[in-house]
Structure 1
């Protein structure tokens, strides 16, 4: 029987990994469709996402791109208890703040440093590493006082921010000065069904 949900992406993409991680945490069956970069310009993939980016989620007739949008959809559609995306104003705003950080400082910090250093993409490595260190300082302060980023339990905020911080050392960003961040990464990886972010170095 074919899974109702299909996830298009690649294993070394942190954007893909956060969606896969959340699907597993929700206990949802899904089909993983490997979609390497050389296929993104194909007619078939462009129909799924005209922006030619991963990940893309298919859920029945729904086709949805953008990793954070997919996380929100899955939480609203499949989390009956509402814990992953709080309904109260403060909790929802705190989660949204970290979703924005994942698309901003994390993308332009550790994620960019990683693709420059490991994959030879053009860019300013030192600037990306500096963004990452500034963010890690903020996170260290938060996670010294709390176990999770947004509320007193794991939420979409933690799922969205986890992958590219887990592999930050691959971009030359040292995590050793941030013990609270490292403990938080371990707490995320200890959740039932979670697969750690794969290493590009090991690959």
Structure 2
């Protein structure tokens, strides 16, 4: 079935990571599950993959793609493995404006989710979508950078660009603008 295939793929990804010398693979949360038996099965699968990673020395990062703060915390706590960590993706929460062409879902507060989980993060993927003005328009980094600082986050950050064909500049300029905005905000802390 689908979950068994995903477990097999994750283990194969760990084998490749080992060959490449990469210390970690990432796995997505997916939409939050509600049925207790589905949640229990999900945790068993994460544990199986994490246990395999422990055997071969590869860590596993859970990425909120998409999820809620409560769901991320539940999965991390219930999986309970030393090599299982959290990769905070700023743009892929349930209700994120990035999931709806820049329009946030009023039923979700992605900044509250980040505040709730930032202390668990071992890596941050800063997503950018609409930034040709010099400031990201869909995700509020003036709120996010202080959230990370208040949580004491000082780990790796990567910039991800998913706004192809909506900016009035090329992708290289988008990446330059994104990095400049993050550096500027970090320098003000």
Q: Judge same fold: TM > 0.5, yes or no.
A: no
**TM-score, normalised relative to structure 2:** 0.30
Higher relative contact order (CA 8 A, sep 6+): 1
Larger fraction in helix:
1
